[in-house]
Structure 1
Amino acid sequence: MPGPDGFTYVVRGSDVVISHHGRVATTLRGGRAVDFLRDVESADDQELMARLTGNYRRGNERQARNHPRNRGR
């Protein structure tokens, strides 16, 4: 399964603007921006940005919903 791609980020003053395929996905401010800049140096930046923006689903949600242990939820 391919990992996330198409994310970029720009530092604007004390804010970090994360875009996905050219469209603004989220803006991080304050402590979250500082934490992001620290973490992006040591982690997979695409995966980190996908998690922060909520864009980390990969299409298997329907299968998981239909699994016997998840029925009735």
Structure 2
Amino acid sequence: MDWNKAADNAQTLMQAHEALSRLMPRPDAPQQTWLAYYRRSAAVYTRVAEIDRGHFHETMFWATREREKAEAMEQSALA
């Protein structure tokens, strides 16, 4: 997956949203691609939460949401 500088350098919640929406896999992408996307998105949001303190709680919501999606995907793969 091509994670560009915009995602890695995002400093605000809005920048993270914009970068991650551009990097989102196509709907029919393999499960592993989506799993990697959710994990990386969670990491981006977690990092941005420490920088964009005015949006800390909202950014942590997004980090948790993406992490939970990855965990649910992992659990369904084990079932």
TM range (shorter): under 0.3
Structure with a larger share of its residues in strand:
1
TM-score by length of 2: 0.24
Structure with a larger share of its residues in helix:
2
TM-score by length of 1: 0.26
- Considering only CA atoms, is the larger Rg found in Structure 1 or Structure 2? 1
Q: Quick one: higher RCO (CA 8 Å, sep 6+), 1 or 2?
A: 2
